[in-house]
Amino acid sequence: MFEKSYAGLYELTEAFPDEESCVRHLEALRWPLGVICPHCGASRKIYRLKRGSRYRCADCKQDFSVRKGTIFEESRLPLRKWFIAAWSLTSNRKGIPSTQLARTLGVTQKTAWFMLARLREVAGQMTGHGGPVSGETEVDETFLGGKERNKHASKRGMAGKQAVIGARSREGRVRAEAIDGRDRAELHGFIREHVAPGSIVFTDDWRAYQGLTDYHHETVNHSVGEYVRGQAHTQGIESFWAMVKRAYIGVFHHFTWKHLHRYLREFEARWNLGNGSESRRMDTLLSYSSGIRLTYKQLIA
């Protein structure tokens, strides 16, 4: 059994004391049924080369390691540092600023930022993988940035803020996106893209939500101070936004709106990973690490 259980940074570093242990762990996550050649997809004849952690595929005659085709491929950093970064992202409830990760890992802030940015792409793979949310689903939009005041009484006059919208199924899964405004086109567009047709959608009484024809739509009348009516409420998605806002104030106050969608992927992933063990949460994120390679240029573009 490959799973290693640990809690806390000290136990993590004990469980993964060197590159070798990290390589074996990543291999077990990536190839649970045996090594697959990332060049040609063959799995018949793959030989471990004598030195290091490389393999050779007899079908296409190419060599590779477990890093091939993952976010780690072009990184010279030890996997151990990547594991610590992945653990930090999944285990700290509000995330971790790049400055703090840089100190923990002994790397520059720029490097730490890049690592976190890549891990956010992995988080995006993870949340995208689940498809639209479905069933009883709460949808609510809000604004990030600036001062929070009396959200329900007035959502107008929010200059300089960024509108975001999210959907949370009652089972707990969340999708969230930045939006250009709170008009009907934006709200309906998000719901059509991220909530399965036929779902029961709960929203507040903001008029732009009206006319959701492909859904069973129920509203609570926030404008008259109503927050729960039977099953109709939006407290689940509101608690997600509360978490995002605490993180924004406490940890990510430097982030620019340009990168907001990346941070939303991180917030979603952490939320969707649920309350499992730290080791399971990190493993789940790492298991999505193949298939994405972003260059620094792409990330800052």
Contact between 39 and Zn ion by CB under 5 A: the answer reads yes
Contact between 144 and Zn ion by CB under 5 A: the answer reads no
Contact between 57 and Zn ion by CB under 5 A: the answer reads yes
What x/- string results for residues 82 through 121 when contact with Zn ion is judged by CB under 5 A? ----------------------------------------
> Do 13 and 84 touch, CB atoms closer than 8 A?
yes
Token pair in block for residue 151: 């959200």
Which stretch, 51-59, 85-93, 128-136, 229-237, contacts Zn ion (CB under 5 A)?
Answer: 51-59
Contact between 40 and Zn ion by CB under 5 A: the answer reads yes
Q: Which of 60, 153, 242, 249 is close enough to bind Zn ion by CB under 5 A?
A: 60
Q: Which is nearer to Zn ion, 44 or 297 (CB)?
A: 44
Token pair in block for residue 108: 């520059």
Q: Which is nearer to Zn ion, 70 or 91 (CB)?
A: 70
Q: Which of 22, 26, 29, 37 is close enough to bind Zn ion by CB under 5 A?
A: 37
Q: How far is the CB of 42 from Zn ion (least distance, A)?
A: 5
Instruction: Count Cα neighbours of 220 within 13 Å in the Cβ-side half-sphere.
Output: 18
Contact between 185 and Zn ion by CB under 5 A: the answer reads no
Q: Which is nearer to Zn ion, 39 or 94 (CB)?
A: 39
Which stretch, 9-17, 32-40, 208-216, 269-277, contacts Zn ion (CB under 5 A)?
Answer: 32-40
Q: How far is the CB of 250 from Zn ion (least distance, A)?
A: 47
Which stretch, 18-26, 29-37, 93-101, 182-190, contacts Zn ion (CB under 5 A)?
Answer: 29-37
Q: Which is nearer to Zn ion, 40 or 185 (CB)?
A: 40
Contact between 59 and Zn ion by CB under 5 A: the answer reads yes
Given the rule CB under 5 A, which residues bind Zn ion? 37, 39-40, 42, 57, 59-60
